[in-house]
Amino acid sequence: MAADWLGSIVSINCGATLGVYQGRVSAVDQPNQTISLTQPFHNGVKCLIPEVTFRAGDITELKILEIPSAKDNLMFVDPQQIDQITSAVTFPAGTNQNGVSKVPKKPTTSSSAPQSIPRMVDIRSQDLINSPQQGSHSYVERQLESLNSSKAFRRRHNSWSSSSRHPNQVTPKKTGLKNGQVKTKDDECFGDELEEILDTDFDFEGNLALFDKAAVFEEIETHEKRGGARSGGTPNDRPSRYRHDENILETEPIVYRPIIVPQHTGKEYCTDAGLIVPSISYELHKKLLAVAERHGLSVERRLEMSGVCASQMALTLLGGPNRLTPKNVHQRPTVALLCGPHVKGAQGISCGRHLANHDVHVILFLPNFVKMLESVTNELNLFNRTQGQHVCNVKDLPDFPVDLVINCLDCHENAFLHDQPWYKAAVEWASRNRAPVLSIDPPVNELEQGIDAKWSLALGLPLPLGERAGRIYLCDIGIPQKVFQEVGINYHSPFGCKFVIPLHST
């Protein structure tokens, strides 16, 4: 029996100070209570010396990991040492610093031959010291005799040996030369004698055959039919199936109406966020401004707010930060501002003042009148304090294309201005200049619009504008919510974090 233990792979735990050693048993000296390991590993790292000898007093725990076959024993054992071995010891798999154990195994050359499997037996140092030296087997030998005599253990051993190895061996990748021999990656990392462990290949076909697809789908359909019967629906009704490129959501979008007006004018707009903004009539718009003025939103404050919003929109149309930079002073944009002698004209003058303050070259056209509104006069005095240019004749307007034309000639009530010579001359100049036009608060009637606009800016709530107004934008001029409620409008702001938002026709 002693010959069976020589060459066994063992693990010797020598406590926290000396650590754990692994290797093959090369000699056991029972009188001196010592054991020698060849090709030793210390805490998962291969030792530089070829053999290490341990005393029984230094050993805390011994574990046998693998017991060699008789053939391997005869190849390894020295005949002179067989009689000296009366007990054998084994030890746990090599434990590295991360606590992961690995058991190196020797691949067999034939898939049908029985293979040895790791058998782990715990032995304390007292078992080695107190084991009988003569006339009886050691503790480890008695344990392994009982294991080897068990028929059930042999059957499990044979079945595991025949199924755990795949007959086809994978050729390891060769990475370099050492001492004239080709070494694998495992050998270079863990040692010259480290043997490769081959895992069992997964049987995809066998596992797929265990799945009865027809039975599973039948069970799902039965469950759906029962669910339809419980919910009151027809059991045979099936939900419509969609392709991967089809929309599975509802076709009708959810409509959000934050603003409800007392009278529907027949035209609605939609914001980028999907909010519906209805249009109101000019009479209701005029009433809304009058109530706001009565509560303190004066004409001057409304002009200032509309001028800021219009100038902000104009600066965006002119290129914003891509063009209006301190390093681009030599390419300042030019804006032609066409205004009439009314409140709409005063809004345009306020916009021109803010544009001039942002280094935009503004040319204001406003004819001389004997008497003008006080709001127009005040805005004109402020504009003349800027670097903007004020002209009274159309001939003084630039003959080259400008970057933007802001139209404030039209008015909701004073339609007789269309017959004035200065108005006709300004309209003719704008059509000849071919610059994009921005209209501020254009009238509802398209016949009252002398110039076709590309963009139009509405104040507060939009009017039902026609196609000549171009794309509609809406600006917030600061009308409180309770003012809207006073004129019968259920209002919730659609602006969000902005003061100017685009509107789309629904």
Predicted confidence band of residue 214 (pLDDT cuts 50, 70, 90) = confident
- Residue 74 tokens read as 């005869």
Backbone angles phi, psi at 169, to 5 degrees: -95, 135
* 273 has a pLDDT exceeding 70: yes
Please report the pLDDT score of residue 101 as a whole number.
Answer: 40
Please report the pLDDT score of residue 417 as a whole number.
Answer: 83
Percent of the chain with pLDDT over 70: 67
* 187 has a pLDDT exceeding 50: yes
Determine the average pLDDT of the residues in 41-70: 83
pLDDT: is 401 or 110 the higher one?
Answer: 401
Please report the pLDDT score of residue 503 as a whole number.
Answer: 95
Residue 65 burial class via C-beta count within 10 angstroms: exposed 0-12, middle 13-18, buried 19 and up = buried
CB 288 within 8 A of CB 463: no
- Residue 376 tokens read as 């127009």
Determine the average pLDDT of the residues in 150-158: 46
* 205 has a pLDDT exceeding 60: yes
Q: Rounded distance, CA 412 to CA 344, Å?
A: 9
Instruction: Name the residue type at position 442.
Output: P
Residues 6+ apart with CB under 8 A from 237: 228
Per-residue pLDDT tens digits for 320-356:
888 888 777 678 899 999 999 999 999 999 999 999 9
Residues 6+ apart with CB under 8 A from 357: 386
What does pTM read for this prediction?
0.52
Backbone angles phi, psi at 188, to 5 degrees: -65, -30
Q: Rounded distance, CA 475 to CA 314, Å?
A: 13
Please report the pLDDT score of residue 199 as a whole number.
Answer: 59
SS3 449: coil
Please report the pLDDT score of residue 74 as a whole number.
Answer: 46
Mean pLDDT of the chain: 76
Please report the pLDDT score of residue 255 as a whole number.
Answer: 66
Q: Rounded distance, CA 176 to CA 171, Å?
A: 15
For 297-302, the CB contacts below 8 A with 24+ separation are 297/477, 297/478, 297/479, 297/480, 297/483, 299/343, 299/375, 300/375, 300/378, 301/478, 302/459, 302/477, 302/478
Per-residue pLDDT tens digits for 99-126:
444 444 444 444 444 444 444 444 444 4
Predicted confidence band of residue 170 (pLDDT cuts 50, 70, 90) = very low
Please report the pLDDT score of residue 124 as a whole number.
Answer: 45
Please state, as a whole number, how many other Cβ atoms lie within 10 Å of the Cβ of residue 268.
19
Q: Rounded distance, CA 496 to CA 482, Å?
A: 18
- Residue 77 tokens read as 């054992």
- pLDDT-wise least confident of 24-28, 222-226, 256-260, 434-438: 222-226
- pLDDT-wise least confident of 14-23, 44-53, 246-255, 413-422: 246-255
Between helix 139-148 and helix 151-163 the angle, nearest 10°, is: 70
pLDDT: is 431 or 193 the higher one?
Answer: 431
3-state helix, strand, coil in the chain (%, to 5): 35, 20, 45
What one-character-per-residue DSSP string does 2-23 give?
HHHHTT-EEEEE-HHHH-EEEE
Per-residue pLDDT tens digits for 431-469:
999 899 999 999 887 666 788 999 999 999 999 998 889
CB 6 within 8 A of CB 17: no
End-to-end Cα, the chain, rounded Å: 97
SS3 208: helix
Strand partners, 339: 408
SS3 343: helix
Residue found under tokens 């000549």: 468
Per-residue pLDDT tens digits for 371-389:
889 999 999 999 999 999 9
SS3 308: helix
